[in-house]
A = this chain, B = another copy of it.
């Protein structure tokens, strides 16, 4: 190590809120009026290379300030860290943060404090990938299996997946990885779109957007359900008519139901052949999901965007409770915990179809799916990344969707960086948008 190695010098935070509730974008059975927001942070260093690490938690409005406060509570763990060693081993930070016994009391490993840890850890991965000059998916796909295993915390999951088993999965994943990387760079990997299906949209808008989705090359769309059964029947019929029989139509209840309701409601919609029912009940209810899955087959059961950590995912897999595992890039403890979850899914043979949308979730999670395709599961069969066409314009390297596929990012980093002018405009409550909003 040099005498004066570069260190982390600042953890700057921002409370960023977009007024999305005014258009009913993002409205569903549990979230009638979200204001898509980000509790955002920038890691700065004294390396003199101009590189920063960006990360964030996605929230839907109120409480974004609490999430920012949680990120700020982690600042002492970051300041003064040597950048080289931090970026060479983000897992060391992950372990320190998860293991801070006083902060652990506020979870453990769940909710506001855990999401804050995820944002900080993700910012380190963004910085590490920028320094490496690679997009994050490529950094991960090119990494040695032994190193990837060292990045995973096996506490509480070793009864389902041992480090040796994980290593074996990653070694198998290397076979043919170069060919798959070429395929990925050529054509991307499949997405599906939720844009037609928000509850607040009219049937006419739903039909138009569903037809547009098919014309755009998507082979799957998704509809929000769960507020009113008659409405859902009408909307699902309209969607099926709009897209025809060859397109998958998933439905998403956003946790609206009890177990019995989930079964009855899903069965009542079965004639329209929904591909999966997403979040039929509480994300905490492992046994409930198992019961629902048994009752609604062949409709598949999907969940994950609100699943708090690898321990709950482990049990969903152990209990045979899900057909589709939906990781989220900003819910769990960052890339390290998502590596654990991807490995668990591969071990149990369950496809991963990430949750995305919100603010920047598409930008982040594409990297994890691309790593999964290139160097772990090795397939895109039954694997699609959610796509929603909101708010991408605020990012420096927004996702690129082409013929229903996510194109592989080539810019170094985790695609997490927001434009400075967007941060200035939508910072709450003192950004230019919010100031103007109050005075008009």
Q: Residues on A close to B: CB < 8 A?
A: 30-35, 59-63, 65-67, 69-70, 73, 100-115, 154-156, 158-159, 255, 258-260, 281-288, 291, 306, 308-309, 311-312, 314-315, 318-319
* Additional pairs, 15, CB under 8 Å, beyond known A60-B101, A110-B111, A112-B113: A31-B105, A33-B101, A34-B105, A35-B102, A60-B102, A60-B105, A61-B105, A63-B70, A63-B105, A108-B306, A109-B284, A156-B282, A158-B260, A159-B260, A159-B291
Inter-chain contact B30/A287, CB cutoff 8 Å: no
A422 to chain B, nearest CB (A): 21
Inter-chain contact B308/A284, CB cutoff 8 Å: yes
Contact of A311 among B62, B112, B158, B285 (CB under 8 A): B285
Inter-chain contact A67/B111, CB cutoff 8 Å: no
Contact of A258 among B34, B102, B156 (CB under 8 A): B156
A contacts with B: majority SS: loop
Q: How far is the CA of A311 from the CA of B159 in the complex (A)?
A: 23
A108 with B60, Cβ < 8 A, contacts A30-B101, A101-B34 known? no
Residue of B nearest to A263 (CB): B159
Inter-chain contact B108/A110, CB cutoff 8 Å: no
A286 with B288, Cβ < 8 A, contacts A73-B66, A112-B70 known? no
Residue of B nearest to A21 (CB): B102
A112 with B112, Cβ < 8 A, contacts A60-B102, A285-B315, A309-B284 known? yes
Residue of B nearest to A68 (CB): B69
Residue of B nearest to A104 (CB): B30
Q: How far is the CA of A112 from the CA of B112 in the complex (A)?
A: 6
A31 with B101, Cβ < 8 A, contacts A112-B113, A113-B66, A306-B108 known? yes
Contact of A315 among B32, B286, B311 (CB under 8 A): B286
A106 with B258, Cβ < 8 A, contacts A285-B315, A287-B286 known? no
A198 to chain B, nearest CB (A): 14
